[in-house]
Structure 1
């Protein structure tokens, strides 16, 4: 059973996401475009492509299409009926659907482990840590320095060794983690 806290963690781990409220519901936006919300009754609503919504309905029998004025706009399912891994995948699909194309392309490249030009992340941190950092929009050491060690460790794929290497690289530049 997943919770609103898990939804919040999944959504806020994505770049440029802001939390707010929409019609009294906790909601998440990327550059002002809503992609996920949760009703007071505990149903998560995700705006996604028709194809992704069809796949989600097939995978989650308690879920249903989300419509607005009889037009399909996404998928809804009770939070209690999805596990954390499924929720993460659904939230990412909704984020990719609503994020600007360039931002989504950057994250797709990060998922593939392709660092953008100008990235100075040490290769010694390993591919999982690199993917996690790039996926969170942290493509440079200066951006990594805006996070604490605990925040970095909370990212799936970033372990103590990666944090140590990042801290050493920042210390070599006269900087450190927040």
Structure 2
């Protein structure tokens, strides 16, 4: 069962996301463009390209298309029905769909190649954690040292093992988490 904190954690992973409430609905936007929301009743709404919205509706029995002016603009479903792994993919697709082209292209570059040959981050944290840190703009040990353990763990894809490896790497360099 996927929860509202999981949705928030996933949505807030991406660059330049703002969160606000509108009449009991939590709304996530990128540069003023809404890409995800959740109602007080637990219905998640994602702004997606038409084909992806249709695929998402087909994947969940209680899902519905979001329609504006006769066109499909996304999908909605009870958040508890949405698989957590699929949620990540859907939220990323929604973010990329609503983000400015240049900002979305930056994310595409990170996803295509999450590690750089000159990266200071230890390979042992894994590709998923490396990608999550890169999406959050954390690509150097100095940037990692400016974070708390809780801040790192709040990033979707960064787990206790990755934080432990990062803390050990920082200690080897005479640094520590904030």
TM-score category, normalised to shorter length:
0.7 to 0.9
CA contact (8 A) 2:64 2:77 kept: yes
Question: Using the alignment, how far apart are the partners of 1:68 and 1:12 within structure 2?
Answer: 26
Gap runs ≥5 in structure 1: none
Match of 1:163 in 2: 167
With normalisation by structure 1, the TM-score equals 0.82
1:25 aligns with 2:25: yes
Match of 2:121 in 1: 122
Mapping for residues 114-153 of structure 1, pairs under 5 Å = 114-115=114-115, 121-128=120-127, 129-153=129-153
C-alpha deviation, 1:136, in angstroms: 2.2
CA contact (8 A) 2:122 2:165 kept: no
RMSD over aligned CA atoms reads 2.5
Question: Using the alignment, how far apart are the partners of 1:84 and 1:69 within structure 2?
Answer: 30
Gap runs ≥5 in structure 2: none
C-alpha deviation, 1:126, in angstroms: 4.8
Alignment length, in residue pairs? 173
Question: Using the alignment, how far apart are the partners of 2:123 and 2:81 within structure 1?
Answer: 39
C-alpha deviation, 1:139, in angstroms: 2.9
With normalisation by structure 2, the TM-score equals 0.82
C-alpha deviation, 1:56, in angstroms: 0.7
* Residues 1:130 and 1:170: Cα distance change in structure 2 (over 3 Å): farther
CA contact (8 A) 2:2 2:84 kept: yes
C-alpha deviation, 1:31, in angstroms: 1.6
C-alpha deviation, 1:130, in angstroms: 2.1
C-alpha deviation, 1:38, in angstroms: 0.9
CA contact (8 A) 1:107 1:137 kept: no
SS at match of 1:77: strand
C-alpha deviation, 1:53, in angstroms: 0.5
Question: Using the alignment, how far apart are the partners of 1:20 and 1:55 within structure 2?
Answer: 28
